[in-house]
Amino acid sequence: MSPYFTAADQFAVNPALLLALFGCGILLLDFFIQPNPKSKRLLIFLALAGEAFAAGALLRQYKLIDEQAVVALRGFSGSLIVDGFSIFFNALFAAAAVLVVLISYRYLEVEGEHNGEFYGLVLLAQCGMYFLASGTELVTIFIGIELMAVTFYVLVGFLRGDRRSNEAAMKYLLLGAFSSGFLAYGFSLLYALSGSTRLDQIATALAQRPAADPLLILALATTMVGLLFKIGAAPFHMWAPDAYEGAPTPVTAYLSVASKAASVAVLVRVLMSTLGAHRINWEPLLAVAVLLSLTIGNFSALTQTNMKRLLAYSSISHAGYVLLGLIAGNRTGLTGIAVYLLVYTFMNTGAFLVLISLRQKGLTGDDIDDLNGLIHRSPGHALLMALFLLSLAGIPPTAGFIGKYYIFLSLVETGHFALAIVAALYVAISIYYYFRIVRAMFLNEAGQLPAAVPGLGASLGFLLTAAGTLAIGLFPEPIVRFAGSSLLR
C-alpha cells in the first residue's frame, strides 16, 4: 500500500475534512464579525453551506459505491472505510446537524448566549461522528469519540451564565472522561490480544481464541462499558438526565440523537464484524444492559415533571430498543437499528423543537405543566407535539411504528420471545408518560403562558421533522431500502 496520501484516502475522508474546515472557519470568522444577531446569521449560512458541501461529498461516495457495485472502499491503509453502513449513518448525522443548526438560532437569542462558535462546534462534533461511522481502526475510532465528546462537553455547558448548564457539563465531563478510560483500556486489551489495531485483523486474530478466555472477556466488557456509556444505556446512564436537562435544548436534541447513533454505529461494527465470533460472550451482557435500560428508562420517566428529563429517560429506553436489534443480530435486526435511529432523529428532534419554539424569555417552559392547554394557545405546536409523541410511543401510522416493527420482528425471527414480550409491555408503559404530556396539552386547562410564534428556522425544522415522522410512517419503502443498503457485509 502506498505510504502517501492518495486519492482514495482523500475520497474516504472528504466529508470529514470539509466539516472540519468549515467548523474551524466559523470559529475563526467569529472573531472578525460584528457581535450582532444579523451578522451572526452569516455564520448560520456558513454552517449550512458546510453541511451542503459535506453532503455533496457523501453523495459522491454513495454514487461511486452504487455505480461500481462494490461493497466498500478503504482509505488510509484500512483505517477508514466507505460502505453502505458508513454512508447511512453519516447521512443521519448530517440530518441531525442541519436540524440543530436550524433550531438553535432563536434559542440562543432567547438565552442571550448567541455566540458563533456554537455552529463551529456542531460541525466539529459531526466531524468526530464521521470517524465513528467510518473508522475501522481502534485509534481512529478513539480519536473520533474524543473529538465528539469534547465538543459536546463544551456544547452542554454553552450557557455560561446558567448554573444548571455548568453543572451538567461538569458532570458529563467527569463521567465521560471516566468512560473514555474504560474504552481506552478495552481497546488496548484488544490490541494486546491481537497485535493489531485494525478491526478486520483483530477479528481474524480473535476468532482463534477460546470463548472463555478471561482477557478477551475483560476486553469485551470494558469496550462495551465505554460505548454503552456514550449511548446512554443503563446501567451507565447516570449522566444522561442531568446533562440533558442542563444542556441548551438544541444540544440536548443533538446529544440524544446523533451522539447516540454514532456510538451505536461503533458498537454495531465492533460487536458484529470484529467480535461476531464471540457472540456467546457479549450477548448476555448486552441483554442485561437492554433490560436495565428499558426498565430504568421507562419507570423513571413515569414520575418526571420536567420535559427534558422525561425525554432523557425515554431516550434511555429507546437506547434499549435499539440495542435489541443488536441482540437479534440478523438482517432484520440490523436494518431495524438503522431505521430506528433515523426515525428517532426526526421524532425526538421534533419533540425538542416544540420545547425550543415554546421557550420564552424569562420563562423556562420546560415543565410539563407549562404545556397545559397548549391546544388553546398554539394548536399547531400541540398537534406537532402529539405527532412526535405518538411516534415515540410507536403508534402507527407514524414513523416510530416502523422502527418498533423491525425490532420486534427481528426478536421474533431469532426466537427471543421473552425479550420480545418484555419489550412490548414496556411500550404500554411508555404510553403512560407520553400521554401525560398529551393530557397536559389537550385536556388540562390553559396555563398563563402567551402564544408562541415559530421563527423561520423553527418552521423549517418543524417541516423537516414532521414530514420525516409522517412520511416514513406512511411510505416507509424508500427509507427501508436505504437502511437495507446499509447492512454490514
Partner 1 sequence: MNPLSLALWTPLACLVVLLAIPASQKTAIKVWANAAALLGAAAMLPLLAGFDKSNGGFQFVERAPWAPSLGVQYYIGVDGISLLLMALTAVTAVVATLSSWNAIEDRVKQYYAMLLLLQVGMLGVFASLDFILFYVFWELVLVPMYFLIGVWGGPRKLYAAIKFFLYTLTGSVLMLLGILTLFFQHWTQFGTPTFEIDALLRLAMPFWMQQWVFWALFIGFAIKVPMFPFHTWLPDAHTEAPTAGSVILAAVLLKMGTYGFLRFSLPLLPEASIDRTIVQVLVGLSITGILYGALVCLMQKDWKRLVAYSSVSHLGFCTLGIFSLNPNGIAGSVIQQLNHGISTGMLFLVVGVMYERRHTREISEYGGLAHRMPLFATVFAFAVLSSAGLPLLNGFVGEFTILQGAFEANRFSAALAVVGVILGAAYLLWLYQRTTLGQITNMKNNLLPDLSLRELVVFAPFIVWAFSIGLYSKPYFEMIERPVARIVERVRPGYFQDRSQAPALAELAPPAAPATRREAGGSR
Site of interaction with partner 1 (CB under 8 A): 375, 390, 395-397, 401-402, 405, 408-409, 412-413, 417, 420-421, 424-425, 427-428, 431-432, 435, 439, 442-443, 475-477, 480-481, 484
Q: Which is nearer to partner 1, 138 or 390 (CB)?
A: 390
User: Which one-letter DSSP state was computed for residue 448?
Assistant: S
Q: Are 26 and 116 in contact, with CB atoms under 8 Å apart?
A: yes
CB of 302 vs partner 1, minimal distance in Å: 12
CB of 320 vs partner 1, minimal distance in Å: 15
Q: 121, 51, 64: which is closest to 93 by C-alpha?
A: 51
CB of 439 vs partner 1, minimal distance in Å: 6
- Type of residue found at 82: V
* DSSP string computed for 380-416: HHHHHHHHHHHHHHT-TTSHHHHHHHHHHHHHHHTT-
**What CA–CA distance (Å, rounded) separates 254 from 348?**
9
CB of 408 vs partner 1, minimal distance in Å: 6
**What CA–CA distance (Å, rounded) separates 90 from 482?**
13
CB burial readout 401-435, b (16+ within 10 A) else e? bbbbbbbbbbbeebebeebbebbeebbebbbebbb
Q: Which is nearer to partner 1, 200 or 413 (CB)?
A: 413
Q: Which is nearer to partner 1, 397 or 455 (CB)?
A: 397
Which residues make beta-bridge pairs with 82?
A: 73
CB of 367 vs partner 1, minimal distance in Å: 18
CB of 207 vs partner 1, minimal distance in Å: 29
**What CA–CA distance (Å, rounded) separates 272 from 290?**
17
CB of 334 vs partner 1, minimal distance in Å: 14
Q: Which is nearer to partner 1, 48 or 429 (CB)?
A: 429
User: Which one-letter DSSP state was computed for residue 256?
Assistant: I
Q: Which is nearer to partner 1, 252 or 398 (CB)?
A: 398
Q: Which is nearer to partner 1, 214 or 477 (CB)?
A: 477
CB of 336 vs partner 1, minimal distance in Å: 11
Residue 7, Cβ neighbours under 10 Å: how many?
A: 8
Q: 204, 182, 181: which is closest to 194 by C-alpha?
A: 204
Q: Are 202 and 79 in contact, with CB atoms under 8 Å apart?
A: no
Q: Which is nearer to partner 1, 25 or 397 (CB)?
A: 397
Supply 126's cell numbers. 459531526
Q: Which is nearer to partner 1, 71 or 428 (CB)?
A: 428
